[in-house]
């Protein structure tokens, strides 16, 4: 009986904490009056990501950790980090984990199967109740544009079920201005498998929070360039605002950078081919490396992003690095447009001076 009462008390305490955290997020509200924009941060299961959450918890309004996945049968797998979850509840930080799929084909199987969708939704409801979560964020990327309607239906069905349990649904959305494929093959590929599956209006009507992923303008798939150049960010923000109320819109602000370099041209099978590589490059690497190689960190006044280059083995390497100044300018944009807030990928990758830009969380 004591064990049962203890379990019931623990469960009640977790639900109360989740309710308080949800209220705290709601109280943060849109960027109107004296309220600051909602500061949403993503967290990975790396130690430096967890460390950053612990060190800056007083400036985080909403935590979105990468804890869950789902397969083609609707099986939700994963679980919260118990230390992080306890810390979040104790500090009244709402927790809204990401749920993500395996691959595009298995995701297609999931969204075209009613039994699989029902199984997924039932698991989400159970996990939220068990762990005191305020809801979930869908982070479904690399989706075929032909799955657009089925994907939208999944969002609506999940939102209806979560709202019925007083839970919230948010979504991370790939930027897709101008709303159609462009001229070149890369633009066609982007629309086919990244942008075309997102029906902004229908999604915006269904979800509680629309996180516009205005980052990865240039990646390992492209030539070197800004992670989130300001003209590109503005184009996608203005496009999104045609469909999404600003009170629901969270602007993506990257904390990470990229390093482009010439990699090994010899493939594992012995054949040779061009191999220009791009890799994530966090501030704890990019800033010391610039010093190590005597590189001059430069500021692009058009893109509002820092960058530098240097030579290694007689080959130029490029680094683009959204640092504190870049963050400042995009945070100012959030306030200027009165957006709900911002969403930053990812804790642990940031320039430490970023935190000087943010107020303490109101909770």
The 10s digit of each residue's pLDDT in 304-335 is: 999 999 999 999 999 999 999 999 999 999 99
Four-residue CA torsion sign, 11, 91, 247, 34? positive
The verdict on residue 23 lying in a domain is yes
159 touches 125 (CB < 8 A)? no
Q: Considering only CA atoms, which of 53, 49, 139 is closest in space to residue 101? A: 139
Q: Which CATH number covers residue 185?
A: 3.20.20.80
Read off the pLDDT band of 10 (50, 70, 90): very low
Cβ contacts of 117 within 8 Å, gap of 6 or more:
74, 110, 111, 154, 157, 158
pLDDT at residue 12 greater than cutoff 50: no
Structural domains in the chain (count)? 1
219 touches 258 (CB < 8 A)? yes
Read off the pLDDT band of 92 (50, 70, 90): very high
pLDDT of the residue at 101 = 86
Helix, strand, coil tally for the chain in percent (to 5): 45, 20, 35
The 10s digit of each residue's pLDDT in 118-161 is: 999 999 999 999 999 999 999 999 999 999 999 999 999 999 99
pLDDT at residue 252 greater than cutoff 90: yes
Domain span at residue 60 reads 14-255+323-357
The verdict on residue 225 lying in a domain is yes
Read off the pLDDT band of 2 (50, 70, 90): very low
The verdict on residue 117 lying in a domain is yes
Note the pTM of the prediction, 2 decimals: 0.92
The 10s digit of each residue's pLDDT in 283-310 is: 999 999 999 999 999 999 999 999 999 9
pLDDT at residue 25 greater than cutoff 60: yes
The verdict on residue 282 lying in a domain is no
The verdict on residue 84 lying in a domain is yes
Mean pLDDT of the chain: 93
The verdict on residue 148 lying in a domain is yes
pLDDT at residue 83 greater than cutoff 70: yes
Of the two residues 122 and 19, the one the predictor is more confident about is: 122
In percent, the amount of the chain with pLDDT more than 90 equals 90
The verdict on residue 246 lying in a domain is yes
The reply to whether omega before 346 is within 30° of 0 (cis) is: yes
The verdict on residue 318 lying in a domain is no
Dist. CA 154–CA 158, nearest whole Å: 6
Q: Considering only CA atoms, which of 298, 357, 290, 345 is closest in space to residue 317? A: 290
pLDDT of the residue at 26 = 61
């Amino acid at each position: 009986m004591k064990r049962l009462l203890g379990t019931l008390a623990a469960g009640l305490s977790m639900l109360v904490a989740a309710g308080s955290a949800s209220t705290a997020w709601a109280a943060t509200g849109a960027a109107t009056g004296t309220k600051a924009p909602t500061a949403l941060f993503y967290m990975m299961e790396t130690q430096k990501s967890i460390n950053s959450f612990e060190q800056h918890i007083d400036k985080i309004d909403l935590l979105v950790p990468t804890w869950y996945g789902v397969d083609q049968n609707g099986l939700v797998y994963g679980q919260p980090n118990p230390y992080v979850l306890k810390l979040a509840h104790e500090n009244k930080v709402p927790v809204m984990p990401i749920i993500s799929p395996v691959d595009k084909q298995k995701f297609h199987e999931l969204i075209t199967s009613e039994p699989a969708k029902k199984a997924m939704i039932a698991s989400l409801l159970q996990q939220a109740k068990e762990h005191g979560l305020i809801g979930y964020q869908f982070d479904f990327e690399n989706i075929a544009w032909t799955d657009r309607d089925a994907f939208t239906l999944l969002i609506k069905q999940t939102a209806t079920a979560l709202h019925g349990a007083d839970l919230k649904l948010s979504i991370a959305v790939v930027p897709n201005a101008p709303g159609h494929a462009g001229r070149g093959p890369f633009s066609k590929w982007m629309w086919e498998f990244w942008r075309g599956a997102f029906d902004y209006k229908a999604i915006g009507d269904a979800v509680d929070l629309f996180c516009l992923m205005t980052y990865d303008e240039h990646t390992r798939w492209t030539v070197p360039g800004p992670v989130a150049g300001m003209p590109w960010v503005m184009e996608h923000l203005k496009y999104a605002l045609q469909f999404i109320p600003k009170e629901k819109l969270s602007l993506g602000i990257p904390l990470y950078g990229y390093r482009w370099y010439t990699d090994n041209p010899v493939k594992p099978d012995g054949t040779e081919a061009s191999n220009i590589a791009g890799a994530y490059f966090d501030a704890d690497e990019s800033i010391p490396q610039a010093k190590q190689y005597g590189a001059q960190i430069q500021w692009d006044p058009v893109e509002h992003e820092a960058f530098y280059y240097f030579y290694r083995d007689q080959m130029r390497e490029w680094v683009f690095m959204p640092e504190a100044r870049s963050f400042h300018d995009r945070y100012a944009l959030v306030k200027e447009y009165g957006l709900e807030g911002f969403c930053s990928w990812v804790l642990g990758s940031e320039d430490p001076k970023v935190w000087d830009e943010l107020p303490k969380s109101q909770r």
